[in-house]
Amino acid sequence: MKIAFVVQRYGPEVMGGSELHCRLIAERVASAGHAVSVFTTCAKDYTTWDNVYPPGTETFNGVTVRRFPVAKPRDLASFNEYSDWIFSHAHTEKDELEWLDRQGPLTPDLLTALEKEEAQHDAFIFFTYLYYTTYWGMKKIRGRKTLVPTAHDEPALRLDVMKEVFAAPAAFMFNTESERSMLGRHFSFEGKYQDIVGVGVELPGHPDAAGLCREHGLAPPFILYAGRIEPGKGCRELIEYFLEFLPRNPDLTLVLIGNLLMSLPSHPRLRYLGFVPPDDKDAAMAAAAVTVHPSHLESLCMAAQESLAVRTPILVQEAADPLKEHCLRGQCGLFYSNGREFVAALELLLGDARFRKILGNNGYAYVQMNYAWPKVLAKYERLFRYFSSPQ
């Protein structure tokens, strides 16, 4: 089949959760023998949408990537101010459409291409409910539309325009049952094709944990955070809770890897390793006693899946229902809602190696059962069969 993906950013350097999710799915679908195209923008940075990639067509890992320029960069401070206003005041539909324009990425050329080329594709898969490309792009496509919402419970879901977003697709591919249940409180999916899918995760053979520790001068025990390092991901709260815990275990280190988007306090027990390649990330996760996932807002959390794939248990923020769901369904980690609970949970995990091993083994079985690539791809193949059969 000829499958088109629509996503706000795309590329090997783009490591945002939904964008990476889209790229991994697109590449696997292409490797399964489908003709895959991606309609995306020239933006690399989601805060400004500045055009970095050249417009045009390129092929990357078997996927035809179509890039279109962003007509207007985003002023993030102005957008955040407008968001605060629209989420707290009575407003009109015009105001909400203005919010979508400011949210971006504003790319009318991409919309024109979708409209002109719809007949050349058998199905369209839109990633992330939140953006201009999804709202307006789905209006250009008359049928065979799937939405991968990658949603968490946030004020934008309550905008009236989102009723149109969630009414338009014929099919939904959710990340977790928690995400589907949360969205079901806002929208009706009756009569729609639905599946719980997420994204596949590699099951590494033998990550070189010892080599990673030697290279970076790390001595166990340490706990690990992997991902964008910013307040919105709960990192400031994590560091605060970690420093509260430290007097109980002065030899413990918090290691952080990923893009640094906030300042870090100077402390000998905080180590930032930078952005590391995938093999090093796997090794760091395997070497860690526990990985911590402090975000309050998640629809899946690929870093948690990757940790479980190397048998390292997870400690997660309870407010993120999908993360809590991983812990409960997989029996593979603990969750906390405040500093006191963080300290108690971490103390329990660090104090019992056998307990950590049980959780880690459970987690490995959980991702193997639910997120191994053959299982994920089988669900997409089922979706494609649905679209190819008489409706």
Q: In this predicted model, what pLDDT tens digit does every residue of 124-170 receive, in sequence order?
A: 999 999 999 999 999 999 889 999 999 999 999 999 999 999 999 99
For tokens 């390292």, name the residue.
Answer: 312
Do residues 177 and 28 both lie within one domain? yes
> Residue 345: is its pLDDT beyond 70?
yes
Helix (H, G, I), strand (E, B) or coil at 336: strand
pLDDT at 179: 95
Asked whether residue 196 falls in the same domain as residue 231, the answer is: no
Whether omega before 221 lies within 30 degrees of 0, making that bond cis, reads: yes
Token pair recorded at residue 91: 């407003």
Does residue 118 sit in the same domain as residue 222? Answer: no
pLDDT at residue 391, as a whole number: 60
Whether residues 279 and 345 share a domain: the answer is yes
Are residues 353 and 376 both part of a single domain? Answer: no
Q: Describe the crossing of helices 93-103 and 132-140 by its angle, rounded to 10 degrees.
A: 110
Query: Is residue 134 domain-shared with residue 231, that is, in the same domain?
Result: no
pLDDT tens profile 313-344: 999 999 999 999 999 999 999 999 999 999 99
Residue 280 belongs to what domain range?
Answer: 209-370
The CATH number assigned to the domain holding 251 equals: 3.40.50.2000
* pLDDT confidence of residue 246: 96
118 and 8 both lie in a single domain: yes
Residue whose entry in the numeric block shows the structure tokens 């395997």: 286
- Report pLDDT digits (tens) over 207-235: 999 999 999 999 999 999 999 999 999 99
Answer yes or no: are the C-beta atoms of 73 and 106 closer than 8 Å. Answer: no
Q: Structurally, how many domains does the chain consist of?
A: 2
Task: Summarize the confidence of residues 180-189 as an average pLDDT.
Answer: 96
**b/e map 341-363, b = 16+ CB within 10 Å:** ebbebbeebbeeeeebeebbebb
The torsion angles phi and psi of 293, rounded to 5 degrees, stand at -130, 90
- How crowded is residue 386: how many other Cβ atoms within 10 Å of its Cβ? 16
- Identify the DSSP state of 54: P
Does residue 249 sit in the same domain as residue 103? no
Please check whether residues 218 and 314 belong to one and the same domain: yes
Band (pLDDT 50/70/90 cuts) for residue 300 is confident
pTM over 0.85: yes
Distances in Å between the Cα of 54 and the Cα atoms of 5, 14, 102, 159, 273 are 19, 15, 22, 33, 31
Both 153 and 214 in one domain: the answer is no
Do 93 and 235 belong to one domain?
Answer: no
Q: DSSP class of residue 347?
A: H
**Quick check: 16 pLDDT over 80?**
no
pLDDT given at position 304: 96
The pLDDT value given to residue 206: 87
Percentage of the chain with pLDDT > 70? 99
Buried b / exposed e over 206-242, threshold 16 CB at 10 Å, is: ebbbeebbeebebeeebbbbbbbbeeebbbbbbbebb
DSSP per-residue codes, 84-121: HHHTTS---HHHHHHHHHHHS-B-HHHHHHHHHHGGG-
| Whether residue 130 is found in the same domain as residue 245 | no
- Tell me the backbone φ, ψ of residue 98, rounded to 5 degrees: -65, -40
Q: Alpha-carbon distance 51 to 137, whole Å? A: 19
